[in-house]
Structure formats: structure tokens, C-alpha cells
């Protein structure tokens, strides 16, 4: 976010930010970005950028930025989506994400 600047302090060089967001390849409904960043398109209406992780047993993470208003959320879940019913886990994560973005919009 903010091109690598946080509270007037540069924490990432501009070249690093550019590299992180350079498109590497396309897969299904999102585009993989360099250094693990992705962009998701939701019904061609909304775009998000971020990263998720599910490879630690019992733990799942999501970090997303809503592109239109630069609103970001991060959440950690004590769950094992990869081992249990993945469809139910994906629904739960989607619901949490939508509620967090709604709360951010109302704040």
C-alpha cells in the first residue's frame, strides 16, 4: 500500500514495489503477482490484491486490499481448511472478509 511508504517513511524501494506487482502469470479468476501477491476479480466489479496462506496445520491467513478505496484487512483463523471440508472453509473465510470490509466502510 502507498507505494512502499508508511507514515512518511519509505519502507520499500519503488523498484521493489514495482517488482512485487509485476504480473507473472494468469490462473483462473485471479492473476499471480511477483513475490506472492495476487489480484482477485469479483464479477468484474471489484478487485482485491493480497495473499493467503493455508499450509500450516490448524491455521489459515488472509491479507487483502480492496483496490478502489485502498482499504486493507488481515485476519488469522484457527482452522484447517486444507484438511477439512474446503468448500465450507472457503465460505467462512469469504463471510469474514465481507464483514471486515463492510465494517471498514462504515467506520
**5 pLDDT more than 90:** yes
What cell numbers appear for 64 in the block? 487483502
Higher pLDDT: 13 or 57? It is 13
The parent domain of residue 102 ranges over: 2-106
Distances in Å between the Cα of 94 and the Cα atoms of 6, 31, 61, 80 are 28, 18, 12, 15
What is residue 89's DSSP assignment? Answer: H
Q: What share of the chain is helix, strand, coil (3-state, %, to 5)?
A: 30, 35, 30
Look up the pTM and report it: 0.66
Name the phi and psi angles at 14, rounded to 5.
Answer: -60, -40
Q: What is the mean pLDDT of residues 71-100?
A: 75
**pLDDT range class, residue 10, cuts 50, 70, 90:** very high
Residue 39 · residue 51 · CB < 8 Å: no
Q: Band of the pLDDT at 97, cuts 50, 70, 90?
A: confident
CB 37 within 8 A of CB 50: yes
Residue 29, pLDDT above cutoff 70: no
Q: Tell me how many domains the chain contains.
A: 1
Other Cβ atoms within 10 Å of 93 Cβ, number: 19
Amino acid at each position: 500500500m502507498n507505494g512502499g511508504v508508511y507514515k512518511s517513511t519509505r519502507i520499500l524501494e519503488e523498484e521493489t514495489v514495482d517488482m512485487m506487482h509485476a504480473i507473472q502469470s494468469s490462473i483462473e479468476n485471479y492473476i499471480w503477482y511477483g513475490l506472492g501477491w495476487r489480484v482477485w476479480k469479483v464479477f468484474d466489479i471489484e478487485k482485491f490484491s493480497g495473499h493467503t496462506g493455508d499450509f500450516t496445520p490448524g491455521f489459515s491467513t488472509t491479507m487483502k486490499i480492496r483496490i478502489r478505496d485502498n482499504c486493507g484487512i488481515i485476519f488469522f483463523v484457527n482452522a484447517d481448511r486444507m484438511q477439512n471440508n474446503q468448500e465450507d472453509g472457503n465460505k467462512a473465510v469469504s463471510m469474514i472478509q465481507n464483514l471486515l470490509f463492510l465494517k471498514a466502510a462504515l467506520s
